[in-house]
Chains A and B, each alone.
Chain A
Amino acid sequence: MYISHLVTLNLDTSKCVGCGLCKIVCPHRVFEMEDKKAKIMKKESCIECGACMSNCPVGAIDVKAGVGCAQAIFNGGSCNC
């Protein structure tokens, strides 16, 4: 959909406790639960919002999360709205 080959999303399955929060909060349904563990199914749809990382109780998910907004990047990191 977008320039998604650079998505920084990573899941450490060994830490995952299967709470399912990452699946619930993801706006683009990137995660599914398989054998009581989370699994990344659609990495290309990830928008790096960080909802999965923030909600994971055990720190199993890592992503360089932020706002995918060109204006914010032109302004040096923060948008004006």
Chain B
Amino acid sequence: MVETYSGCKPDIQLSEIMQRPETAYDLDWIEHLIEGYTELEGFKIPIISRKMNMKDYLGSLMVRIGIHRMDYHFPPGLYLIGEQRSDLPVIVSCNYKLTLDALRTALMGTGYWLLILDTKGVNVWCAAGKGTFGTEELIFQLTKWRIKELLNVKSVILPQLGASRMTPHIIRKLTGLHVEYGPVRADDLDAFLNNNRVASEASRTVMFPWKERLVLTPVEFMMNVRYLLPIYLFMIFWNYINFGFQLEFVQPLFQTLPWLLMMFTGAVLFPLMLPLLPTKPFSTKGMILGLPMVIFVFAYSEWFCLGGNILQWLSWSVAYLLYVGYLALNFTGSTTFTCLSGVDFEVGHFKKVMKYGGIASACMMALSLFL
């Protein structure tokens, strides 16, 4: 069943929202970001640095290759960037540190209040899709920190990509605060603020250029590398059955290489070449990209110790193409332009392709062992 969203409960009460449990986060590991504290009506508010240091760069690199990707978070709450003044804007964001780094290094003005929501360490757009960057969490933090009274503001600025689970009229009803939507990218936030909080069309449009696709490829690849060991173990078994019941460990290593090549094709090449590939479904784009790789593998089959049985080549070819198609289909979650209905349709069809293709591949392999 596909999870869909139909909107925030229109009669939701503040008391319901304020009962939500809070997650405790450790502030110690981000101590290096804190330049000092400011006090406001009894609240001690950390002042966040705008500079990146080696710890931040290293953390970013680790997350980009999939290490600590799910716990790169910091405490939600109120922070200050720059100098405290009476008329500072309130910027709302998520508690994914990579987002905080992008935000704090982009803001060059005198000062900003930063209200961080608890999105469990997930970026704004994904958190909005999951509901954690949403109406209830925003109302919770605005009320907990008494933002309207404490900072004497009439509105808060949300990132545009956080809009999908926000209901401004409910937020206004329960907190008295208006919601304004800033641009998509943190880099355009100062221009937005300096232009009477009016964003250009370009700054409101989501793009997905090759550089943004490229930074996703390490984690896409690393998430699949773990399957190389089970694949290698399977190739030891296949090699044993296929080549006279002799236990071999070196040949299966070479037989695993085509799977590594397909993994690279699906997880790295596919994102980079996405706009150039024909057809609309990601799985067919992936399989089209995989085809020359499959031809390469069998043109140089002796490198990969795959033998000379044509039926087996066909069986492996189907398996390789299904694998690349599956990896390509998984990239829908990382793109900025796939619609739920389209992905649902494509997954429904590709499940059948995987099922019948898998059966065909297995039958051809079984037949080849007896012929």
Contact = CB atoms under 8 A, between A and B. Distances in A.
Interface string B65-84: 00001100000000000000
Bin chain B's interface residue count.
35 or more
B12 interface: no
A15 to B, nearest CB: 14
B337 A70 contact: no
Nearest to B281: A3
A29 to B, nearest CB: 6
A14 to B, nearest CB: 19
Interface residues of A, number: 42
Nearest to B168: A55
A6 to B, nearest CB: 4
Contacts, number: 150
Interface string A15-53: 000000100111111000000000000000111111101
Contacts of A8: 341
Contacts of B3: 66-67, 72, 77-78
Contact of A54 (B163, B205, B280, B347): B163
A48 B166 CA distance: 15
B330 A67 contact: no
A68 to B, nearest CB: 4
Interface of B: 1-8, 69-70, 122, 126, 128-130, 135, 160-161, 163-169, 181, 184, 199, 201, 204-206, 280-282, 329-330, 332-333, 335-347
